[in-house]
Amino acid sequence: MTIPAGSLLTAQDLRKAYGPTTALDGAEFSIHPGEVVAVMGPSGSGKSTLLHCLAGIVMPDSGSITYNGREVTAMSDAERSALRRSEFGFVFQFGQLVPELTCVENVALPLRLSGSSRKEAERTALAWMERLEVDELRKKRPGEVSGGQGQRVAVARALVTNPRVVFADEPTGALDSFNGERVMELLTDAARSANTAVVLVTHEARVAAYSDREIVVRDGRSRDMERVV
């Protein structure tokens, strides 16, 4: 596969196995700045592993991942952590908010990890919470808010550092369709206006419809539908 010009994040010939289970078997990927790409496929096809590899959370067994001209697979663990802190944002299905911290503290967390002062971090966090229409939850703890509200808080947290790429793994998986779509709408709106790319792993077509294009992962191999058609 040839790498499309101007790509922000690309992966070539990724292979990854967990013991006897092959999760990725020559997967390819590329995304442009500001683009929303849906990664689809049946469960167990390797979608999440692809996302984890792209985000530098998991190291592939072989293959290359390039972010902004840098080879991610050649980075040390500390470098990848720093990359995730400063350039990436994350939204997962559930279980990602620290239950002891209030919502605003949760949103401010990535900023504080990058060294911002508490006050400043929470001010920025609150601005993002307003944007995602959850600012009235700032003093509440994650256990006291609904699933949809919690995911919006999580989206605010993913965007608070102005990342270049947001990785969303089934962000609406635990939500009903109304709340799920609202979260998708807010996420993609915010991402587009900030020129943030979004890698969206989902098995729901209606969630994928918020993307600009989709790739399908089947048996560890990816298929870029745009280039097929």
Partner 1 sequence: MSAAQWGRDLSMGVRFAFAGGREGWIRALLTAVGVGLGVALLLLTTALPGALAERDRREEARSDHTFSQQEIPKAANTLVILDTDTTFRDQDVRGRMLEAEGPRAPLPPGVAKFPAAGEMVVSPALKELLASDSGKLLRERLPYRITGTIGEQGLVGSRELAFFAGGEGLAKQLEGPASGARINSFGNDDLGSSDPWDPVLLLLVLVVFVVLLMPVAVFIAAAVRFGGERRDRRLAALRLVGSDSAMTRRIAAGEALAGSVLGLVLGTVFFLLGRQLAASFEVFHVSVFPSYLNPSPLLAALVAVAVPTAAVLVTLLALRGVVIEPLGVVRTAKPARRRLWWRLLLPLGGLAMLVPMVGQGSDEGTFNQYLVVGGVMLLLVGVTALLPWIVERVVARLGSGGIAWQLAVRRLQLTSGAAARMVNGIAVAVAGAIALQMLFAGVEGNYTAASQYDVSRAQMSVDVPESTDIASTARAYRDTEGVRKVTVLSDVHLGDRRVEADSYVQLTVGDCAALREVATLHSCRDGDVFAVRGSEYESESDHLTEPGTTLWTDGDRLVSWSVPKDIRQAQPREDPTGYERGGILLTPGALPEKLAAATSASLFLSVDRSVPDAYEYVRNTAARLNPTAQPMTWNSTESNERYATIRTGLSVGAACVLALIGASLLVSQLEQLRERRKLLSSLVAFGTRRRTLSLSVLWQTAIPIGLGLLLAATVGVALGAVLLRMTNTAIRVDWPSVLSMTGIGAGVVLVVTLLSLPPLLKMMRPDGLRTE
Partner 2 sequence: MSIGHTLLGLLESGPRHGYDLKRAFDEKFGHDRPLHYGQVYSTMSRLLKHGLVEVDGIEAGGGPERKRYAITEAGITDVGRWLATPEKPEPYLQSTLYTKVVLALLTHRDAGDILDTQRSEHLRSMRILTDRKRKGDLADQLICDHALFHLEADLRWLELTAARLDKLREAVTR
Residues in contact with partner 2 by CB under 8 A are 42, 185, 204-206, 208-212, 214, 216, 223, 225-226, 228-229
Q: If you compute the radius of gyration of the chain from its CA atoms, what whole number of angstroms results?
A: 17
Interface mask (CB under 8 A) for partner 1, residues 9-38, using x and -? ---------x--------------------
Q: Closest separation between CB of residue 169 and partner 1, Å?
A: 8
Q: How far apart are CA 148 and CA 88, in angstroms?
A: 22
Alpha carbons 14 and 12: distance in angstroms, whole number:
6
Candidates 15, 131, 141, 213; binder of partner 1 (CB under 8 A) is 141
Which of partner 1, partner 2, none sits in contact with 168, Cβ below 5 to 8 A by type?
Answer: none
Nearer to partner 1 by C-beta: 31 or 160?
160
Residues in a beta bridge with 201 = 39, 169
How far apart are CB 112 and partner 1 at their closest, in Å? 5
Q: Which does 106 bind (CB under 5 to 8 A by kind): partner 1, partner 2, none?
A: none
CA 175 to chain centre: 17
> Is the Cβ–Cβ distance between 192 and 161 less than 8 Å?
no
For residue 10, what is the enclosing H or E element?
Answer: strand 9-18
* Minimum CB distance to partner 1 smaller for 84 or for 152: 84
Q: Which stretch binds partner 1 (CB under 8 A): 34-42, 68-76, 91-99, 176-184?
A: 91-99
For the bound state, the minimum distance from the C-beta of residue 29 to partner 1, rounded and expressed in Å, comes to: 18
Q: Which residue reads 């209030």 in tokens? A: 102
> Quick one: what does residue 5 bind among partner 1, partner 2, none, with the CB cut-off 5 to 8 Å set by partner type?
none
Cα–Cα distance list, 14 to 52, 56, 63, 94, 209 (Å): 12, 12, 4, 27, 26
Of 95-103, 128-136, 181-189, 214-222: span binding partner 1 (CB under 8 A): 95-103
Give the whole-angstrom CA distance, residue 3 versus residue 28: 10
Burial 158-188 (b: 16+ CB within 10 A, else e): bbbbebbbbbbbbbbbbbeeebbbbbbebbb
Q: By rule CB under 8 A, what string of x and - marks binding of each residue 33-62 to partner 1?
A: ---------------xx--x--x-xx----
Total number of residues that touch partner 1 (CB under 8 A): 35
